[in-house]
Amino acid sequence: MTGIPATLVTGVSAAHREAAIAGVLDSKLRTALILEGLPDGAPPFDELLPSWLTIVRIAPGCICCSGNLTMKVMLNRILRQHPERIYIGLANSTHLPRIRQFLQQEPYDKRLSLTEELTADSGSNG
């Protein structure tokens, strides 16, 4: 696999998406989370994050319809930190194919390797 493995995470709520991510984190890998929206409950991540985990939150809104500017800025900042794994939690999966397409274009096509989506619903954590 070339590029940093990047997983798009969808689900019914921020709490479910974040619980699904927390359930698959590997403390042996420097991991970055880009989470769309605010947590809706107690996040499963400690306030004092371990050194291997970076979390950034972006305001909810269609990241592919808003010109991708917010996503580009956050993703570029994260990539400068050289993570070994990235999870992107999406508040709305309506435009998932367009978001996937955006991440497969330059310059991200050479930096990321998109994995299968991680779907969190009220019946499971991944």
What confidence tens digit (pLDDT) does each residue in 50-108 have?
889 999 988 776 666 666 788 888 899 999 999 999 999 988 888 888 889 999 999 99
Q: Give residue 59's pLDDT.
A: 78
25-51, pLDDT tens digit by residue?
A: 999 999 999 998 777 767 777 666 788
Q: How far is the C-alpha of 10 from the C-alpha of 28, rounded, in Å?
A: 24
CATH of residue 81: 3.40.1010
In a domain, 25, yes or no: yes
In a domain, 98, yes or no: yes
Domain count of the chain?
1
Closest listed residue to residue 117, CA positions, set 91, 87, 92, 75: 87
In a domain, 45, yes or no: yes
Structural domain range at position 93: 4-120
The whole-model pTM stands at 0.88
Q: What is the DSSP letter of 45?
A: S
In a domain, 8, yes or no: yes
Q: Give residue 40's pLDDT.
A: 76
In a domain, 126, yes or no: no
